[in-house]
């Protein structure tokens, strides 16, 4: 499912902040973080803006009020406004700027495409306004992949800062890219995390360096198939200026680089958790080393850091992420010592293989960020035996390979999710002897579906009933969260609270005579 890049005479000159954006008629799809940021930016630029969102919530009404106060914006909330492309002050839109979650098949976007109206994402808009008179223009280090994006973008930011640079991680994590672009001081460099959704709607970005960390089946429902998902991931390499960094252990990413249209002189640089060849970074005797960005790379390597700098228990994929980040910042010109110091300063984010509690020799681990099978595989590989809490919104992916590879680690599986039939089927085919427990329905005394907190409390109780000493109870759902939770973070927090409640209850029981 590809979206052609459309340009019009009105839009072609709009490649800097100081271009003539005044009066441009724009429809913004969605009023979440990126949609609000896009609308706010366009208003500041002097465009005429209409925002629509199907969710008419108190939070969205508050955002709508803010946009109306800061400038001329019409905000339409409610499902009836998400069915057709709205007019802008009685005239057709000249541009649609969409939030990442809107798929090309959405009725409004499909209507815009059929009418020949260009569709940008917030990243495309940010790239076009990044140049502003009187303020430095920061190079972008672009990062995508099925898994590891947030870790790698945070490591990249930490390395850049260790080099004394004013740097920020933005995009699909933390700060929306347009908010970063509008910082009045500007930046020396921006590490930009990009989802496949964002890349789909990005057309002219030209990063200094780029990486696709890995690819595995994910979001195939949104993209319309795995090939289309790969094609959107590959867009991260288009127009790269200095270095396209690829995973030497996954041929798909190398093929993406080979097929990319890049700036003349751009290099291909591989990363591997084994010994690196020339023009690669890798690992030799416990050291992260560089054979890509040194003059003597044919017969020597520069030490960047030690595996010990990642922490005593860092899993293998953390080393791969660190090497990818190192390659990006080395392409920018950062010294090896800053790579080492950046890794030492790096603090992992929450909800990623996060120990929560240990009681009766049972370890409870939160990996809510494992929103697809590839991510769940990394955490399942780290523990044995496992009581696995899993399930949720599958996004059209399949679980057979995951269960086949790690089924021998499972003591039991507790299913969450509104519909986990795909995962249940894979378990039945490949691990028929492993008990599968549906998170029991709570007696809430009311009608309607359980809350996310109730779902997770049931799952924790079910896991506790079957776990034995030496086990790990691992909440790594291999699925998205939006069927029962607001986000993977909400799901993770619900798990943490449920585990704490269970542990406190056990402690109270122990104290009773």
Q: Write out the binding residues for ATP.
A: 145-151
Q: What is the largest CA-CA distance in the chain?
A: 81
Pairing of strands 362-366, 354-359: antiparallel
The residues near 229 (Cβ < 8 Å, ≥ 6 apart) are 196, 215, 217, 218, 219, 220, 223
**Cβ count within 10 A of residue 494:** 27
Which residues line the annotated binding site? 145-151
Residue 412: strand, helix, or coil: strand
User: Which candidate, 355, 382, 376, 389, places its Cα nearest to that of 464?
Assistant: 389
Strands (DSSP E) found in 360-471: 362-366, 386-390, 410-415, 436-438
Rg (CA), the chain: 24
DSSP state of 385: S
Exposure string over 391-401, b if 16+ CB within 10 A, otherwise e: bbbbbbbebeb
Rounded distance between C-alpha atoms, residue 474 and residue 158, angstroms? 29
Vertex 66, ends 65 and 68: CA angle to 5°? 65
Q: How far from 180 is each of 134, 336, 360, CA to CA, in Å?
A: 16, 27, 46
Rounded distance between C-alpha atoms, residue 254 and residue 268, angstroms? 8
The residues near 483 (Cβ < 8 Å, ≥ 6 apart) are 392, 393, 417, 418, 419
Find the Cα–Cα–Cα–Cα dihedral 396, 402, 403, 405, rounded to 10°.
Answer: 160
Vertex 358, ends 353 and 361: CA angle to 5°? 115
DSSP string, 414-435: EE-SS--HHHHHHHHHH-TTS-
Rounded distance between C-alpha atoms, residue 432 and residue 439, angstroms? 19
User: Which candidate, 414, 5, 469, 445, places its Cα nearest to that of 199?
Assistant: 5
Q: Token pair of 396, please?
A: 């059209």
The residues near 123 (Cβ < 8 Å, ≥ 6 apart) are 171, 177, 192, 194, 198, 199, 201, 202, 205
Q: Is the peptide bond before 131 cis (omega within 30 degrees of 0)?
A: no
Positive or negative, the CA dihedral 35, 40, 43, 49 is: positive
* Cβ atoms 114, 137 nearer than 8 A: no
* Cβ atoms 266, 242 nearer than 8 A: yes
């Amino acid at each position: 499912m590809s979206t052609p890049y459309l340009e019009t005479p009105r839009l072609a000159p709009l490649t800097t902040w100081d271009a003539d954006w005044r009066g441009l008629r724009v429809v913004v799809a969605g009023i979440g973080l990126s949609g609000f940021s896009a609308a706010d930016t366009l208003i500041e630029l002097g465009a005429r803006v209409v925002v629509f969102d199907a969710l008419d919530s108190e939070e969205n009404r508050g955002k709508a009020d803010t946009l109306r106060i800061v400038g001329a914006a019409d905000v339409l909330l409610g499902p009836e406004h998400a069915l057709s492309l709205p007019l802008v002050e009685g005239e057709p839109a000249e541009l649609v700027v969409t939030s990442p979650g809107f798929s090309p098949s959405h009725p409004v976007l499909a209507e815009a495409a059929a009418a020949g109206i260009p569709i940008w994402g917030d990243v495309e808009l940010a790239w076009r306004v990044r140049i502003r008179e009187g303020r430095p223009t920061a190079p972008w280090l672009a990062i995508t992949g099925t898994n590891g994006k947030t870790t790698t973008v945070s490591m990249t930011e930490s390395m850049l800062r260790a080099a004394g640079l004013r740097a920020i991680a933005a995009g699909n994590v933390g700060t929306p890219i347009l908010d970063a672009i509008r910082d009045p001081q500007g930046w020396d460099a921006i590490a930009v995390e990009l989802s496949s959704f964002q890349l789909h709607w990005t057309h002219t970005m030209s990063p200094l360096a780029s990486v696709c960390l890995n690819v595995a089946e994910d979001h195939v429902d949104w993209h319309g198939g795995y090939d289309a998902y790969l094609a959107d991931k590959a867009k991260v390499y288009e127009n790269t200026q200095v270095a396209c960094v690829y995973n030497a252990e996954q041929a798909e990413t190398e093929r993406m680089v080979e097929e990319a249209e890049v700036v003349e002189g751009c290099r291909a640089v591989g990363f591997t958790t084994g010994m690196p060849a020339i023009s690669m970074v890798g690992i030799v005797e416990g050291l992260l080393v560089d054979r890509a960005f040194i003059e003597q790379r044919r017969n020597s390597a520069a030490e960047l850091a030690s595996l010990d700098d990642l922490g005593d228990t860092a899993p293998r994929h953390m080393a791969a992420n660190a090497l990818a980040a190192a390659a990006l910042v080395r392409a920018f010109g950062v010294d090896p010592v800053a790579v080492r110091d950046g890794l030492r300063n790096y603090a992992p984010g929450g909800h990623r293989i996060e120990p929560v509690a240990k009681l009766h020799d049972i370890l409870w681990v939160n990996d809510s960020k494992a929103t697809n099978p590839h991510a769940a595989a990394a955490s399942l590989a780290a523990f044995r035996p496992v009581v696995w809490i899993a399930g949720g919104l599958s996004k059209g992916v399949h679980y057979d390979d995951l269960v086949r590879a790690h089924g021998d680690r499972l003591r039991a599986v507790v299913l969450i999710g509104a519909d986990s039939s795909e995962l249940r089927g894979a378990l039945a085919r490949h691990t028929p002897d492993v008990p599968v427990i549906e998170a029991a329905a709570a007696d809430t005394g009311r009608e309607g579906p359980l809350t996310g907190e109730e779902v997770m409390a049931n799952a924790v109780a079910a896991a506790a009933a079957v776990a034995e000493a030496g086990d790990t109870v691992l909440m790594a759902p291999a699925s998205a969260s939006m069927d029962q939770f607001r986000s993977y973070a909400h799901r993770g927090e619900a798990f943490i609270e449920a585990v704490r409640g269970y542990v406190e209850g056990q402690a109270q029981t122990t104290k009773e005579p």
